[in-house]
């Protein structure tokens, strides 16, 4: 089987996806018209053309501005539904989706607006496609820990719908240690824990996420290679890394996909997975990320299968569900 048929046909999970980062220029345009929001662009094409980033912050500035068109429950439904249709097309059978409540609550849009919209789309995808999905509530690390505590409290009516708590936004200068107490609280409440670390920040931030936040997964983590003892730890404990190749390229974490270290990390024995991060901003959904790796690196069909199996192992699915899908991949 060709690499592209393997990519297309194997069941996969996606574990690192920001729902606000799946807003297409077309939907942004439509919602801007619907709500009479003035965008600094003259057309859908101009929106897409603006997606040239020099680093994480230059992306985040546009990403937060883009989310400004999301106002009512239907908007959040449309956003989530469009992503889940894409999952169905790409044979993503399960997805663990991050959302940034503070991006909306700061604009006066509360949990009772976005959560029902998200949940309605997730139920429809489960019913119509059999696609399962979990939610990861992510705190914005450029805001205070107190604000994260308030967000955790505001989510109370929806705790049963949220599987994990995460940490995203501007990494440099906002280390995991800033959020040690709120993550301790979230952990004690039974949430799984993830955190972005080692994307632009140093290997030390990955250690902090492990030791202080007690993460179940690291989002990105590609800078782990700078610390040999960290590499050994990640291998021994099989701490999953949710790697996002096109994101790393678009945000200039690497200059060229040929420089991407995912294959090196995989060969070393780390539990690495492939993900799209913010697909409409970074030029590709999940399968495009697999394709981009295949074009740049000497990846085999077995590697693709291992990466897809890792995506189940690293997920928060029940063990027996993981094993069923892993067995299906082994049979391909
Ligand atoms: N890094 C940090 N914060 C983010 C990202 C990312 O890649 N995408 C959306 N928020
Ligand atoms: Zn991310």
- State the average pLDDT over residues 123-152: 99
Q: Which of 56, 66, 175, 223 to mutate to test the pocket of ligand 1 (most atoms within 8 A of CB)?
A: 56
Ligand 1 — pocket residues by CB below 6 A? Answer: 18, 21, 56, 63, 168-169, 196, 199, 247, 277-278
CA 152/CA 138 separation, integer angstroms: 10
CA 16/CA 91 separation, integer angstroms: 16
CA of 169 to the centre of ligand 1 (A): 5
Q: Give the pair of three-digit tokens for residue 69.
A: 């068109």
Q: Give the pair of three-digit tokens for residue 86.
A: 């894409």
**The pLDDT of residue 10:** 97
- State the average pLDDT over residues 207-222: 98
CA of 229 to the centre of ligand 1 (A): 26
Q: Whose CA is nearest to atom 4 of ligand 1?
A: 169
- State the average pLDDT over residues 300-307: 98
Helices (H), the chain: 3-9, 25-34, 44-49, 56-66, 73-89, 101-105, 111-129, 145-154, 180-188, 203-211, 228-237, 245-250, 262-268, 279-282, 286-296, 301-313, 319-330
Tell me whether residue 199 is one of the annotated catalytic residues. Answer: yes
* Nearest atom within ligand 1 for CA of residue 18: 9
CA 216/CA 236 separation, integer angstroms: 14
Per cent of the chain over pLDDT 90 is: 99
Contact 14, 275 (CB under 8 A): yes
CA 17/CA 225 separation, integer angstroms: 23
* Nearest atom within ligand 1 for CA of residue 200: 1
Contact 252, 240 (CB under 8 A): no
Q: Which ligand is nearest to the CA of 20?
A: 1
Distances (CA, A) of 97 to 22, 120, 174, 221, 267: 11, 14, 22, 18, 27
- Count CB atoms within 10 A of the CB of residue 154: 16
Query: Dihedral of the CA atoms 134, 117, 91, 100 (nearest 10)?
Result: -60
Q: Which of 277, 282, 283 to mutate to test the pocket of ligand 1 (most atoms within 8 A of CB)?
A: 277
CA of 220 to the centre of ligand 1 (A): 9
- Count CB atoms within 10 A of the CB of residue 256: 8
Note the maximum CA span of the chain: 53
* Nearest atom within ligand 1 for CA of residue 247: 7
Give the DSSP H/E element, type plus range, for residue 165: strand 164-168
**The pLDDT of residue 298:** 98
SS3 assignment, position 218: strand
Q: How confident is the model at residue 50 (pLDDT cuts 50, 70, 90)?
A: very high
CA of 199 to the centre of ligand 1 (A): 9
- DSSP label of 176: G
Q: Whose CA is nearest to atom 3 of ligand 1?
A: 169
Distances (CA, A) of 91 to 2, 13, 14, 129: 17, 9, 10, 10
Q: Which fold has domain 3-23+93-107+134-330?
A: TIM Barrel (3.20.20)
Q: Which of 17, 18, 219 to mutate to test the pocket of ligand 1 (most atoms within 8 A of CB)?
A: 18
Give the DSSP H/E element, type plus range, for residue 133: strand 132-140
- Count CB atoms within 10 A of the CB of residue 246: 26
Q: Go through 82-95 and write b for each residue having 16 or more CB atoms within 10 A of its CB, e for each that does not.
A: bbbbbbeebbbbbb
pLDDT tens across 166-206, in order? 999 999 999 999 999 999 999 999 999 999 999 999 999 99
**The pLDDT of residue 68:** 98
CA 125/CA 252 separation, integer angstroms: 34
Q: How confident is the model at residue 131 (pLDDT cuts 50, 70, 90)?
A: very high
β-bridge mates for residue 241, sequence order = 218, 272
- The catalytic position among 14, 171, 199, 200 is 199
CA of 138 to the centre of ligand 2 (A): 10
Q: How confident is the model at residue 39 (pLDDT cuts 50, 70, 90)?
A: very high
- State the average pLDDT over residues 230-257: 98
């Amino acid at each position: 089987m060709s690499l592209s048929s393997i990519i297309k046909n194997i069941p996969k999970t996606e574990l690192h996806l920001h729902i606000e980062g799946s807003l297409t220029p077309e939907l942004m345009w439509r919602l801007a018209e619907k709500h009479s929001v003035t965008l600094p662009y003259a057309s859908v094409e101009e929106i897409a053309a603006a997606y040239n980033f020099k680093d994480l912050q230059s992306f985040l500035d546009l990403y937060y501005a883009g989310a400004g068109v999301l106002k009512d429950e239907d908007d959040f439904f449309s956003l989530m539904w469009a992503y889940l249709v894409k999952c169905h097309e790409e044979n993503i059978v399960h997805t663990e989706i991050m959302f940034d409540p503070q991006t909306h609550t700061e604009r006066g849009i509360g949990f009772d607006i976005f959560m029902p919209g998200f949940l309605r789309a997730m139920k429809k995808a489960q019913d119509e496609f059999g696609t399962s999905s979990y939610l990861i509530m992510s705190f914005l690390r450029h805001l205070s820990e107190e604000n994260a505590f308030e967000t955790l409290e505001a989510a109370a009516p929806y705790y049963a719908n949220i599987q994990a708590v995460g940490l995203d936004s501007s990494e440099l200068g906002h280390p995991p240690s800033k959020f040690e107490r709120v993550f301790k609280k979230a952990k004690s409440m039974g949430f799984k824990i993830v955190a972005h670390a080692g994307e632009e920040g140093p290997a030390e931030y990955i250690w902090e996420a492990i030791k202080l936040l007690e993460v179940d997964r690291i989002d990105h983590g590609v800078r782990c290679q700078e610390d040999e003892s960290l590499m050994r730890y990640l291998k021994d404990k099989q701490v999953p890394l949710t790697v996002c190749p096109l994101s790393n390229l678009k945000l200039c974490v690497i200059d060229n996909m040929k420089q991407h270290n995912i294959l090196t990390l995989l060969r070393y024995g780390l539990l690495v997975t492939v993900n799209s991060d913010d697909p409409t901003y970074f030029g590709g959904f999940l399968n495009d990320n697999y394709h981009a790796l295949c074009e740049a690196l000497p990846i085999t069909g077995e590697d693709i299968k291992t990466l897809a199996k890792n995506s189940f192992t690293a997920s928060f699915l029940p063990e027996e569900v993981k094993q069923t899908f892993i067995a299906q991949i082994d049979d391909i």
